Chains A and B, each alone.
Chain A
Amino acid sequence: MGTDTAQPQTRGSGTALAPRPAPAVTAPPKSRRRGAAGRRMDGGPLAYAVLGVATLMFVFPFYWTVVAASRSNAELSAVPPALTPGGNLFHNIGEALQQAAIGKALLNSLIVSTTVTTGTVLCSTLAGFAFAKLRFRGRGALLALTVGTMMIPPQLGVIPLFMIIARLDMQGKLPAVILPTLVSAFGVFFMRQFLSQALPDELIEAGRVDGASHARIFRSIVLPVARPGMAVLGMLTFMATWNDFFWPIVALNSQNPTVQVALKSLGQGYVPDQSVVLAGTLLGTLPVLVVFGLLGRQIVGGIMQGAVKG
């Protein structure tokens, strides 16, 4: 997914818009590939060796999670320790599901992450388009405000947030973690950067000439072009929300947790059965890893694209 965005939207047959050169435009901005074509040196054996070792370091903790989650506590504390998966996986997963409500946590995390991703991507695309292509009084100031606060960690606002949530009696309920993260300044900046490159002014002009309203221009011209950027932003937002830690542990509790809240209670459990803890960790990480396995290439591309512009 992500890159197949060429289909022009034809629903709503009101004003006929000027024919659009859709495929040419919707391709993501191939930001400056290496200058001289192909003048990269081949990696020698040493490069492969170092990268191989590094990859091992990055991947080993995942492997170890599987090993530890499928063993018993006794086997984990044997010397020499077990280095291959054992047969205890389902028992441990069952324990983790019971001790920390991981099942409910997975469902909650799915609800929260999906809602937040949808909200962030929509609001960011709307605002990003306005900042990229429309002129209006106060645009500069509003954009500066957005970008200026991007670097301020949201953690610094948790105390008033907590007081708001407490007053609204939302403690322990999912809206408490959804509402504060529903929009993101980074998202607005990201979509603004994406659209100012990917969306030619002439396209909007053509829509105006045809007498299309802003709403219609957005729906029929901006959205199709924005889709690759929205996909990348969506993936990043989903991962970030799934992994969000500080605010959820403050706003929720172990009766109605997200995955990270459940992992915290597992880690702080009174009977720290390591194999059960890691079975829970495995369960909580698996969904993100699956997403990552399917879309890893796109996520890598998205991060590198954002870096060049940022």
Chain B
Amino acid sequence: MALSTSAPNRGPDPAPPPSPAPAPARPRPAAGLRAPLFRWDQKAAPYAFVAPFFAFFAAFGLFPLLYTAYVSLHRVELQTSDRMEWLGLRNYTRLIEDPFFWNALRNTFTIGVLSTVPQLLMALGLAHLLNYRLRGRTFFRVAMLMPYATSVAAATLVFAQLFGRDYGLINWLLGTVGISPVDWQANTVASQIGVSTVVTWRWTGYNALIYLAGMQSIPGELYESAAMDGASRWQQFLHVTVPGLRPTILFTVVVSTIGATQLFGEPLLYEGSAAGGVSHQYQTLGLYMYEQGWGFFHLGRAAAIAWVMFLLIVVLVAVNAAIARRRSRTEG
């Protein structure tokens, strides 16, 4: 800011001072009320600007987040949610004893890997292709982003139909090349692939565009000098594109990890039950929380699951960041 250097350091220097003495260029000499009003405006206005946001943010964003931790230490039932009974850590110890919790944790992890890894790799490849000079590039980009505009519910309902065991199109296609029908619901691995496919379909194009944006900000000279050094296109991709994209890749990995941790709508609507399959074979943590809270009416226990998910996200993001830092140090 232009004026911030004037006053001798007193803290973070609130607002450009109205500078009473010289008043360099204020054409309208503020008479009477105007000067104090102006000064008040200078001080208070920034807070007025952020106030509407923070009022709602505090009430509906921050408070619930913190209060979840408090609720998780109580017995709270859905129908009588205004009555809370202190339980201490009982909700958490119950989770540890509950095989369905561990099952959900395991499924969240495997579905997370099954959806995130192919999705990001394909996105990287597609972004590389989109970065060529192409006819109809806008068409490709828009087409790729269409799944992103589709809701979880809509996408899942369509894919659930495509993955139908008896009449699904995918099994029919497999049949035409001689593969016997796969039970995309009851089989654990197959059902998890089915759920992951919905996620992959919705997010690949979005991530491809993020990568494309990152690629376009890599200076062309780097490619020129790499080409002069005799690097092939593939080597250029490995040694120029990928390192240049590192922050972008980290960003997408973090966002996808967070998304995978709270996966919910896809497994819920894949067959339409909160159990996540007849033997809970694709029940995720998000779905498990929903089942506890709104299937079995145990809000307190659901809050404990939510808090575990939160800690999981914190740990995963920290691990991502640590790996990224380590790699950038070893590779310069």
Whether, in the assembled complex, B49 has its beta carbon less than 8 Å from a beta carbon of chain A, the answer is: yes
Q: How far is the CA of A281 from the CA of B264 in the complex (A)?
A: 18
Which of A1-9, A19-27, A41-49, A86-94 faces chain B?
A41-49
Whether, in the assembled complex, B226 has its beta carbon less than 8 Å from a beta carbon of chain A, the answer is: no
Q: Mark contacts of B14-40 with chain A using CB atoms, 8 A cut-off: 1 yes-contact digit, 0 otherwise.
A: 111000000001111010001000100
**Is there an interface contact between A285 and B38, defined as CB atoms closer than 8 Å?**
no
Q: How far is the CA of A242 from the CA of B162 in the complex (A)?
A: 24
Q: Which of A33-73 contact B (CB under 8 A)?
A: 33-36, 39-44, 47-48, 50-51, 54-55, 57-59, 61-62, 64-65, 68
- Report A60 CB to chain B, min CB distance, Å: 9
Whether, in the assembled complex, A226 has its beta carbon less than 8 Å from a beta carbon of chain B, the answer is: no
Whether, in the assembled complex, B71 has its beta carbon less than 8 Å from a beta carbon of chain A, the answer is: yes
Whether, in the assembled complex, B56 has its beta carbon less than 8 Å from a beta carbon of chain A, the answer is: yes
- Report B117 CB to chain A, min CB distance, Å: 17
Q: How far is the CA of A48 from the CA of B201 in the complex (A)?
A: 20
Q: How far is the CA of A305 from the CA of B210 in the complex (A)?
A: 9
Interface centre among B53, B206, B251 (most CB of A within 10 A): B53
Whether, in the assembled complex, A157 has its beta carbon less than 8 Å from a beta carbon of chain B, the answer is: yes
Checking A34, A76, A209, A289 against B146 with a beta-carbon cut-off of 8 angstroms, the contacting residue is A289
**Is there an interface contact between B145 and A285, defined as CB atoms closer than 8 Å?**
no
**Is there an interface contact between A157 and B212, defined as CB atoms closer than 8 Å?**
no
> What range describes how many residues of B lie at the interface?
35 or more
Q: How far is the CA of A12 from the CA of B308 in the complex (A)?
A: 54
Whether, in the assembled complex, B97 has its beta carbon less than 8 Å from a beta carbon of chain A, the answer is: no
Q: Tell me whether A136 and B46 are in contact in the complex, defined as CB-CB below 8 angstroms, given that A156-B309, A213-B38, A245-B153 are known contacts.
A: yes
Checking B12, B218, B261, B286 against A137 with a beta-carbon cut-off of 8 angstroms, the contacting residue is B12
Q: How far is the CA of A268 from the CA of B157 in the complex (A)?
A: 10
Checking B52, B71, B147 against A123 with a beta-carbon cut-off of 8 angstroms, the contacting residue is B52
Whether, in the assembled complex, B315 has its beta carbon less than 8 Å from a beta carbon of chain A, the answer is: no
**Is there an interface contact between A31 and B217, defined as CB atoms closer than 8 Å?**
yes
Q: Tell me whether A58 and B142 are in contact in the complex, defined as CB-CB below 8 angstroms, given that A124-B53, A158-B64 are known contacts.
A: no
In this complex, how many residues of chain A approach chain B with their Cβ under 8 Å: the count is 118
- Considering only CB atoms, which chain B residue lies closest to A309 in the complex? B213
Checking A159, A181, A209 against B71 with a beta-carbon cut-off of 8 angstroms, the contacting residue is A159
Checking B13, B82, B141, B265 against A166 with a beta-carbon cut-off of 8 angstroms, the contacting residue is B82
- Considering only CB atoms, which chain A residue lies closest to B300 in the complex? A159
- Considering only CB atoms, which chain B residue lies closest to A239 in the complex? B149
Q: How far is the CA of A175 from the CA of B75 in the complex (A)?
A: 27
Whether, in the assembled complex, A147 has its beta carbon less than 8 Å from a beta carbon of chain B, the answer is: no
Whether, in the assembled complex, A173 has its beta carbon less than 8 Å from a beta carbon of chain B, the answer is: no
Checking B129, B161, B303 against A43 with a beta-carbon cut-off of 8 angstroms, the contacting residue is B129
Q: Mark contacts of A206-231 with chain B using CB atoms, 8 A cut-off: 1 yes-contact digit, 0 otherwise.
A: 00111101110010000000000000
Q: Which 8 pairs from chain A and chain B are nearest by CB? A: A36-B220, A157-B64, A43-B132, A35-B219, A214-B45, A130-B49, A243-B151, A136-B46
